[in-house]
Structure 1
Amino acid sequence: MKRWTQRAATALLLLASSSLAFAQGIVREAPVDVKPALMTVSATPPDIRINGEAARLSPGSRIRDTQNMMVLSGALAGRTVPVVYKRDPMGLVHEVWLLTPAEYEKVGGVNTGDPNGYKRFNELLSLIWAARTAIGVVR
C-alpha cells in the first residue's frame, strides 16, 4: 500500500509541475520582414489577393490568428482580412498573421515612403505583440 501512495504522489507532483509550465504560455514574437496588407481569400484557396493584386498561398503556408492559432485558408474563403505576411523564395505567400482592424490601422499606413517608415512599422508591430501578450490574448 505504501508503494502505491508514493507512486500516486509522484505522479500528482509531475502533473502539477507540467500544468504550471503550460500555464505560463507561449510568447508570440513580432514577425520580422513582414508587410501589412489586406488579404482577400478566393472561394478556391490557395488563390488570394494581396492589396488587390493576384497572389497565391504556398504549399504548407501558415496562417495564424490573433491568438496564434493556425487557421485553414478554407475558413477564410470569400473574406477580406487585415494581415501582415511574408513571402517564400519563390514569391508565394508563406506566412500570414491576422490582425484586428485596430492593429491594422496602427501599422497599415506606416509605409509612406519615409526611410524610417519600415523601422517605425517594426516598432509598432512589436508593441502590438507585446500588448497581446500582456492582456493574455496570446498564449
Structure 2
Amino acid sequence: MYRCALPLLLAAASLTAQAQQHRAFPAHALRGELVITQFPDALMNGRPVRLAPGSRIKTDTNLWVPPAGLTGQKAIVHYTVESSGLIMDVWVLNPAEIANKPWPTTPAESATWQFIPASQTWIKP
C-alpha cells in the first residue's frame, strides 16, 4: 500500500522543485500584473487588454491553464504581445522568478536595456 504512494510523492516533490527554478523567457517578454476579467478581456498593470485567440497561459509550475481558471485573480506574470497588440503568451511567475529584478515592464525599457539569455537577467544602461 505504501509503495503506491511513493511515485505520487516523488512527482509532487519534482513539481515543487520545478516551481522554484527559473524558466527561460524570450527577450521580448515583459513583466506585469495580470487580472483576467472575462476572457478575452483582462487588465495588465491596471489597463484594459485583450488576450489573443490561441493565447497560452502557464502556471508557476509551468502547467497550461485555461484563462477562465485565473478569472479575478491578480498574478505577476511575464507576457508577450503579438503584432496586433493582443497578449499571446503568459507565464505566471514563481517566487524565484519574481525576485529576478530588474525586468522590463514596457517595450521602451526592453529596447534600451541589455538582456543576458544565459542568466535570464537584464542590465539597465
Q: 1:129 matched to which residue of 2?
A: none
Aligned to 2:29: 34
Structure 1 counterpart of 2:91: 97
**Structure 2 residue 60 is matched with structure 1 residue 48:** no
Choose which of 91, 113, 118 in structure 2 pairs with 1:117: 113
- What SS does structure 2 have at the residue aligned with 1:94? strand
Q: Which residue of 1 aligns with 2:63?
A: 69
Q: 2: distance between equivalents of 1:102 and 1:49?
A: 24
- The answer to whether the Cα contact below 8 Å between 2:61 and 2:94 also exists between their aligned partners in 1 is no
Unaligned runs of at least 5 residues, structure 2 = 1-22
Identical residues among aligned pairs (%) = 29
Compute the TM-score of the two structures, normalised by the length of structure 1.
0.58
Q: Which runs of 5+ in 1 are unaligned?
A: 1-27, 127-139
- In 2, the alpha carbon distance for the partners of 1:83 and 1:124 equals 18
RMSD: 2.7
Q: Going by fraction, where is strand more abundant, 1 or 2?
A: 2
Q: Which has the larger radius of gyration?
A: 1
SS of corresponding position for 2:49 = strand
TM-score by structure 2 length?
A: 0.63
The alignment of Structure 1 onto Structure 2 pairs a total of residues equal to 96
